[in-house]
Amino acid sequence: MKMLMTDKSDGTKEIQMDYTRLRVPFGPVHPALKEPISLRITARKEEILDVDIMLGHVHRGIEALAENRNLVQALYLVERICGICSHSHTTCFIQALEEIGEIKPSERALYLRTLIFELERMHSHLFLLGIMAYEVGFDTLFMFTWHVRENVLDLFEEITGNRVHHSMNTTGGVRWDLPPHIVGKVSASMTSIEKSVKYIYDVFQDKTVEKRLYGVGELNYSEARELCVVGPTARGSGVNMDVRRDYPYAAYGELKKGFSVVVRESADAYARTEVRILELFESINIIRTILDELPNGPISTEESVLKLMRIIPEGETVSMVEAPRGELLYFVKTNGKEGLWRLKVRTPTIPNVLGLKPMLIGCEIADIPVTVASIDPCMACANRITLVDPDKGEAKVTDVSTLRRRGRKQ
């Protein structure tokens, strides 16, 4: 931005603003929460003209590493791809191995996998709703949502012994059973969580939240199809897709009637948030159905995991699951010698992050935090922003709280 000062004949000064393009690097590493990402934004006045997205700050070379590990080690390695949807990653990987090795897990094991899967979806969605509330400037709601989320983490701890990386899956089944006294705890917890989620939904329909989220970060149906966005981001844009219904895995084939796919047409940040809130209710329904219909039987095969690893032959397959953020796809090629030739992972955040470009163009700078949070990219919160003046070459560093204040004023 240039400021021109001209002296008038009557002695006063006139200031003219010349608004040229302003480059705003969003990120790359910013320290506060979750994964670093870098967005380079070009803006005029407040309006965003162009967005450039850079990824790869957390590249740990997991695919290459997995080729040097045996199958059991690789299972624990893929779990560490993401701390929020770790169970999705292991389920996807284990499904591929079971398909190659023609191992059939028992019905009970599949139901338990689904149970943890839905609990994970709940914890992930509550996590995001809290972040959304924080970006909107509603700290009380943020704290309340995270308080509810702790109840889900308690259930994880009760069932698997871990809060974040559950290590539930193993070749041919699951590692932990669900004893009757925990069934009661889970169902009691579901009742209290449902009550809290209803309250959260009410608060999200409040005028202040609506005003901040309505019409922000729009991604229309054709753009969503073109960019192949997945999960709640796609469903918020009216794309009716869900791997759980379209290509059932684990126990979703039998639970198909127990849930519906939530789709919203309005395609803005509020639609994506609403899809997540309503999916929480669907998850609660699925969990209740699982608890009612849980079949009896063993939870894993009798052979040891090491023995199973040896019998998995050379082969390749593709496996898909619906992770909390959308479709997660694995390509697995085993070498028949307890190891892997190739592992390819396509996480849902990659297509969703590309959707940020059409969402942000035309928005205002103050809308960046809300829009970025609304796709749930695992790095939702604070990113520091440097405002660069291209004419003077000066860089002004603002932290995200300044930006958030700007967002909240609107």
Partner 1 sequence: MRVTTRSRIKSPWLFHLNTGSCAGCDIEIVAALTPRYDVERLGCILVGSPRHADVLLVTGPVTRQMLPRFIRVYEQVPEPKVVVAVGTCAASGSPFIGSQMIEGPMDKIIPVDVYVVGCPPRPEAIVRGVVTAVKSKFG
Which residues contact partner 1 (rule: CB under 8 A)?
28-29, 31-36, 56-62, 64-65, 68, 73, 76-77, 80-84, 86, 127, 130, 142-144, 146-147, 150, 153, 163-165, 378, 382, 384, 399-401
Please give the angle made by the CA atoms of 326, 103 and 80, to the nearest 5 degrees.
Answer: 40
Crossing angle of helices 71-79 and 86-101, in 10° steps, is 150
> From the CB of 129, what's the least distance to partner 1, in Å?
13
8-state DSSP, 256: G
Q: How far is the CB of 357 from partner 1 (least distance, A)?
A: 22
| Structure tokens given for 143 | 């704290």
DSSP 15: E
Residue 104 beta carbon to partner 1: minimum distance, rounded to whole angstroms: 29
Q: How far is the CB of 251 from partner 1 (least distance, A)?
A: 26
Torsion of CA 299, 302, 305, 310, to 10 degrees: -140
Q: How far is the CB of 352 from partner 1 (least distance, A)?
A: 15
Nearer to partner 1, 163 or 195 (CB): 163
Residue (49 or 143) nearer to partner 1, CB: 143
> In the structure, how many helices (H) and strands (E) does the chain have?
17, 12
Smaller CB distance to partner 1: residue 60 or 198? 60
Taking the least distance from each CB to partner 1, the nearer of 59 and 396 is: 59
- Specify which residues 14 forms β-bridges with: 6
Can you tell me the distance from the alpha carbon of 320 to that of 327, in angstroms, rounded to the nearest whole number? 7
Whether residue 49 contacts residue 33, with contact meaning beta carbons closer than 8 Å, is answered with no
- Closest distance to partner 1 from the beta carbon of 195 (Å): 17
In the bound complex, what is the minimum distance in angstroms from residue 283's beta carbon to partner 1?
19
- Closest to partner 1 by CB, 148 or 267: 148
Q: Tell me how far, at minimum, the Cβ of 22 lies from partner 1, in Å.
A: 22
Residue with tokens 């603002």: 398
Tell me which residue of 364, 334, 347, 380 sits closest to 47, measured CA to CA. 364
Residue 157 one-letter amino acid: E
If the CB atoms of residues 30 and 113 are measured against partner 1, the closer one turns out to be 30
Closer by beta carbon to partner 1, 123 or else 264: 123
Q: How many CA atoms lie within 13 A of 145 on its CB side?
A: 25
| CA 325/CA 5 separation, integer angstroms | 51
Looking at beta carbons only, is 111 or 142 nearer to partner 1? 142
Q: Which of 267, 163, 282 is nearest to 220 (CA)?
A: 267
How far apart are alpha carbons 132 and 404 in whole angstroms?
12
| Alpha-carbon distance values, 81 to 100, 124, 165, 338 (Å) | 22, 15, 10, 21
Q: Which residue has the tokens 């957390």?
A: 58
In the complex, the smallest distance separating the C-beta of residue 310 from partner 1, rounded to whole angstroms, is: 22
Q: Which is nearer to partner 1, 142 or 249 (CB)?
A: 142
Report d(CA 89, CA 337) in Å as an integer. Answer: 22
